Amino acid sequence: MGRIGLGTERTYPHTERTGTAGPGMERTGFRPLYMVPILYLASLYACPILIMAFDLEIVNYDTGDSSGLLLLQIPVVLAIANIVAATVGRRTESRAFLLNSAVLLKYGLVPFFLLGGLLVALAALSSLIPVPFMIFVGPTIAMSFSFIGWLLMLSGSAYSLAYLKASRRAGALPATLATLSTVLQFFFVADVIDVMVLTWREGRWRKATVAVAIVIGLVALALLAGLVWVIVTVTSSAAASSAGSSVAVASAASSAAYAVTHAVVSA
């Protein structure tokens, strides 16, 4: 596949069997279907911001206000539209359109999922709060957020899966790579890394791919540093607690020995 941006697709005389281009690559210019992933991406960022900015209620049983919930239905509708657009695009558009749309969503949603992952982690950690019911509420919220995020990820994977199927049919991808990539599209982080590999393999979006790789690398280092800090903190606390217990035991033993000695002397 040649280097083709959102609005700069080229026509190639080769066939799809060569793995470079073919009948599916003949369309040029900006395609109307690009508006579906663009609107979906914009809605995922805009809806939470609007809800917080205007203090919209998700569900208020006292006033009957559910304007926030109504607003959140927009990304849901657009998520379904993405699946439809990917299915239609696989039949009517080029592989370039499918890969461009996959890159748009996978790369564009990296900040969104980073924030979502942070919220999931905070929800999970809230179960450690010394309040009886939080041991159940924290994990429940974390699992709910994770499931919603997974569904959002799958709607973005529709273009990746369509691209993989179209590329495999065109002979542009080996069966092993296509199968592995299909499986990876159902897992957080792995789906983005997979699209990075596919995009690099096509020789396109390389600057964006490097930028995303740097972001993922920095996040991985931050998580590693956090894990080391937690391990060191827990180990130090355990050691301090153990040392404190040893001192207490020694002190108690010393007191007992003194009491016995004093009793013997007195007798």
Residue 116 phi, psi dihedral angles, 5° rounding: -65, -40
Query: Does residue 141 sit within a domain?
Result: yes
Say yes or no to pLDDT of 196 above 70. yes
pLDDT in tens, 75-134: 999 999 999 999 999 998 889 999 999 999 999 999 999 999 999 999 888 888 888 888
Range of the domain at 114: 16-204
Please report which helix (H) or strand (E) contains residue 49, including its range.
helix 35-53
Crossing angle for the helix pair 190-202 and 175-184, to the nearest 10 degrees? 140
182, 204, 226: which is the final residue of a domain? 204
- Enter the pTM of the model: 0.75
Same domain, 74 and 99: yes
**Domain count of the fold of the chain:** 2
Query: Does residue 217 sit within a domain?
Result: yes
CA 192, CA 153: separation in Å to the nearest integer?
10
* pLDDT above 70 as % of the chain: 79
Say yes or no to pLDDT of 7 above 90. no
Please report which helix (H) or strand (E) contains residue 243, including its range.
helix 206-266
Give every CB contact of residue 262 below 8 A, 6+ residues apart in sequence. none
Token pair belonging to 89: 């695009």
Same domain, 99 and 226: no
Most confident of 48-52, 238-242, 244-248: 48-52
184, 204, 224: which is the final residue of a domain? 204
Query: Does residue 111 sit within a domain?
Result: yes
DSSP H helical ranges for 133-205: 134-170, 175-184, 190-202
Residue with tokens 């924030």: 115
Query: Does residue 35 sit within a domain?
Result: yes
Which of these, 118, 125, 116, lies nearest to 153 by C-alpha position? 116
Query: Does residue 69 sit within a domain?
Result: yes
Same domain, 45 and 175: yes
| pLDDT, position 17 | 37
HEC string for 7-47: CCCCCCCCCHHHCCCCHHHCCCCCCHHHHHHHHHHHHHHHH
Query: Does residue 10 sit within a domain?
Result: no
Residue with tokens 């010394």: 130
The one-character DSSP state at 260 is H
Same domain, 171 and 233: no
At 54, is the secondary structure helix, strand, or coil? coil
Length of the chain: 267
Query: Does residue 21 sit within a domain?
Result: yes
pLDDT in tens, 130-185: 888 888 888 999 999 999 999 999 999 999 999 999 999 999 999 999 999 999 99
Same domain, 46 and 169: yes
Query: Does residue 224 sit within a domain?
Result: yes
Give every CB contact of residue 13 below 8 A, 6+ residues apart in sequence. none
Same domain, 183 and 55: yes
- Cα 107 to Cα 11, 16, 198: the distances in Å are 26, 26, 13
Same domain, 98 and 219: no
CA 233, CA 254: separation in Å to the nearest integer?
31
Which has more confidence, 244 or 176? 176
Same domain, 155 and 249: no
Same domain, 155 and 239: no
Same domain, 158 and 217: no
Same domain, 190 and 88: yes
174, 204, 234: which is the final residue of a domain? 204
Same domain, 184 and 222: no
